[in-house]
């Protein structure tokens, strides 16, 4: 099968990339699970935007400070200056954000020096990704295939010709394309405690390792300070940073505060780990006592419901929270057009690393970064379009992939460990 562009993954990055490609190009989108099962759907807090030019320097400085100034300044500038256009598009595609009077309402999260985050209750990701998915489903040039796992790239002379993958029944197929875009999200599925969907296991990183595609900062992994502590196994439920942004405080077992809750995520996470170690506890507490009940119910209805389901009424009592793996700052090394080191192969969203986040991502910059650089990939493909060289058809040997989940998991975790050791 040959198409023009293959996009692997249908979170915000994959979907928005597809929508920015020309309508006359055939696009094949493949996703490992159901289309609604991406981390993009889980995003709670919101999406940053440049409110006005007066906030430019402050937005830039907050992003760089959170990233320990290891950010790529050019990527940061591109992200911030492109943000109004992205929001305009999202609204055009049908996403709704909280409003105040004639304009948008803005909220604030940790390490932001002013409110610049657009939100839709505490389900901003669902609102944005749902709107993009609906639009993609209406486009005749885009075919979306669910429950199809990509396991390999077809490459010749360091040029990507397509992908190999299998459906739910374990039947393998190869798809060829002039361009391939990897948008496979994060790596949380490799960790015991993570806020991510379990099927997000860094498959693109494993494929990149197999094909000597350049990776960057793969040991930069963000641990979110506040996920709901339960004895249950599975995905950890996030308590959005915007809850702290609106006034929630962290308490130890004696009911004492021990950290400024609005510092960058890595700082707050370290403080919580220290406190748990000092007290010998499995979690700390988050109290929303400073947030009016009405605000909790209108701004955080999803968090309210989820906590109630496991027995906590956040309008009346503190909840136990613990840090969990949350976000991958590193990934496939890409330039400002989202090009990887392999010709005709792009990477966008959380699986890519264009340096925006440096060593630690600022809250609510992820959706924005994914969208901005997915669009840039689409525009770059469009402006430079040429047909790929399909000189050979490959024969798939399913035996080669028989134990790939275990092998890929090990390969990625080993590579992260190696990078960590090198940097220490
Ligand atoms: C609980 C939670 C809350 C968050 N809140 C916010 C927030 O408020 N603001 C913010 O900016 N960011 C937030 N984030 C981060 C943000 O949601 C993600 O970084 C972003 O959505 C990533 O988008 P993506 O398109 O790169 O990946 P995803 O949305 O994760 O999509 C990945 C896609 O790739 C597919 N896939 C993976 N592997 C394969 C494979 N081998 N073959 C085929 N398909 C594959 C998946 O099925 C999926 O469709 C949050 C994340 C979580 C988990």
Q: Which residues pair with 28 in a beta bridge?
A: 6, 143
How far apart are the CA of 305 and the centre of ligand 1, in A? 22
The whole-angstrom separation of Cα 397 and Cα 209 is: 20
Please report the pLDDT score of residue 116 as a whole number: 97
pLDDT of residue 232: 82
What lines the ligand 1 site, CB under 6 Å? 8-14, 30-33, 38-40, 42-47, 124-125, 149-150, 183-186, 195-196, 200, 203, 238, 327, 349-350, 364-367, 370
119 CA: nearest ligand 1 atom:
8
Q: How far is the CA of 144 from the centre of ligand 1 (A)?
A: 17
- The residue from 280, 298, 325 where one domain ends is 325
209: CATH: 3.50.50.60
Could you identify the atom of ligand 1 that is nearest to the CA of residue 124? 8
Cα 11 to ligand 1 centroid, rounded to whole Å: 6
Q: Whose CA is nearest to atom 51 of ligand 1?
A: 43
Q: Are residues 324 and 233 in contact, defined by beta-carbon separation less than 8 angstroms?
A: no
Give the three-state DSSP class for 98.
coil
Which residue owns the Cα nearest ligand 1 atom 26? 349
Domain that holds residue 73: 2-220+329-423
Domain boundary among 295, 325, 355: 325
Q: Ligand 1, atom 53: nearest CA belongs to which residue?
A: 196
Q: CA 203, CA 16: separation in Å to the nearest integer?
A: 21
Q: Do 235 and 216 fall within a single domain? A: no
- Residue 180: what pLDDT? 98
Q: Which residues does the annotation mark as catalytic?
A: 265
Total tally of structural domains belonging to the chain = 2
Ligand 1 centre and the CA of 302: distance in Å? 19
d(CA 43, CA 323): 17
Predicted pLDDT of residue 231: 83
- Considering the domain architecture, whether residues 285 and 192 belong to the same structural domain is answered as no
Question: Could you tell me the CA-to-CA distances from 316 to 249, 293, 307 in Å, in that order?
Answer: 14, 9, 12
What beta strand segments (E) does 49-171 contain?
Answer: 99-100, 103-104, 117-118, 142-145, 149-156, 159-166
Q: Which of 11, 210, 245, 409 gets mutated to test ligand 1 (max ligand atoms within 8 A of its CB)?
A: 11
- Residue 187 DSSP symbol: -
Q: Ligand 1 centroid vs 366 CA: distance in angstroms?
A: 9
Convert the pLDDT of each residue in 230-285 to its tens digit: 888 789 999 998 899 999 999 999 999 999 999 988 999 999 999 999 999 999 99
Are 254 and 361 contained in the same domain? no
Specify the ligand 1 atom closest to the Cα of 125.
Answer: 17
Backbone φ, ψ for residue 257 (5° rounding): -75, 150
**Residues 172 and 35 reside in one and the same domain:** yes
With the most atoms of ligand 1 within 8 angstroms of its CB, the residue from 12, 15, 40 to mutate is: 40
- Between the CA of 40 and the centroid of ligand 1 the distance, in Å, is 4
Say whether both 100 and 157 belong to one domain: yes
pLDDT for 389: 82
Residue ranges of the chain whose pLDDT lies below 70: 391
Last residue of a domain, one of 308, 325, 342: 325
Ligand 1 pocket check: which of 7, 9, 324, 372 to mutate, most ligand atoms within 8 Å of Cβ?
9
Shared domain for 104 and 197, answered yes or no, is yes
Nearest to 219 by CA among 325, 124, 111: 325
């Amino acid at each position: 099968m040959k198409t023009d562009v293959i996009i692997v993954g249908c979170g915000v990055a994959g979907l928005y990339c597809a929508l920015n490609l020309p309508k006359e190009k055939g696009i094949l989108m493949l996703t490992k699970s159901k289309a609604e099962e991406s981390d993009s759907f889980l995003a709670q807090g919101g999406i940053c935007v440049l409110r006005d030019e007066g906030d430019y320097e402050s937005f830039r400085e907050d992003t760089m400070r959170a990233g320990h100034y290891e950010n790529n300044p050019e990527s940061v500038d591109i992200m911030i200056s492109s943000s109004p256009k992205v929001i305009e598009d999202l609204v055009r595609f049908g996403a709704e954000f909280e409003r105040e009077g004639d304009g948008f309402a803005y909220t604030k999260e940790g390490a932001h020096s002013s409110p610049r985050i657009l939100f839709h209750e505490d389900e901003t990701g669902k609102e944005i990704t749902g709107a993009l998915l609906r639009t993609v489903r209406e486009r005749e040039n885009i075919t979306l295939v669910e429950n199809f796992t990509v396991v390999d790239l077809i490459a010749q002379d360091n040029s990507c010709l397509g992908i190999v993958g299998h459906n739910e029944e374990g039947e393998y197929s190869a798809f060829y394309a002039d361009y391939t875009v990897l948008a496979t999200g994060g790596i949380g599925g490799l960790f015991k405690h993570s806020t991510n969907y379990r099927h997000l296991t860094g498959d693109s990183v494993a494929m990149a390792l197999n094909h000597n595609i350049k990776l960057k900062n793969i040991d930069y992994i963000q641990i979110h300070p506040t996920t709901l502590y339960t004895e249950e196994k599975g995905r950890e439920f996030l308590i959005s940073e915007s809850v702290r942004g609106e006034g929630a405080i962290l308490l130890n077992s004696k009911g004492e505060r021990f950290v400024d809750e609005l510092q960058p995520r890595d700082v707050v996470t370290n403080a919580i780990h220290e406190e748990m170690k000092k007290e010998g506890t499995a979690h700390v507490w988050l109290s929303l006592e400073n947030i009016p009940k009405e605000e909790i119910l209108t701004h955080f209805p999803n968090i309210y419901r989820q906590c109630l389901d496991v027995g906590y009424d956040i309008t009346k009592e503190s909840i136990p929270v613990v840090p969990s793996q949350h976000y991958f700052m590193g990934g496939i090394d890409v330039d400002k057009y989202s090009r990887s080191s392999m010709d005709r192969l792009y990477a966008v969203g959380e699986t890519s690393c264009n340096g925006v986040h440096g060593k630690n991502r600022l809250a609510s910059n992820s959706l924005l970064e994914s969208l901005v650089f997915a669009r840039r990939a689409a525009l770059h493909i469009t402006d430079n379009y040429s047909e790929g060289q399909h000189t050979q058809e490959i024969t798939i040997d399913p035996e080669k992939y028989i134990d790939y989940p275990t092998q890929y998991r090990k390969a990625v975790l080993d590579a992260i460990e190696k990078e960590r050791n090198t940097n220490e």
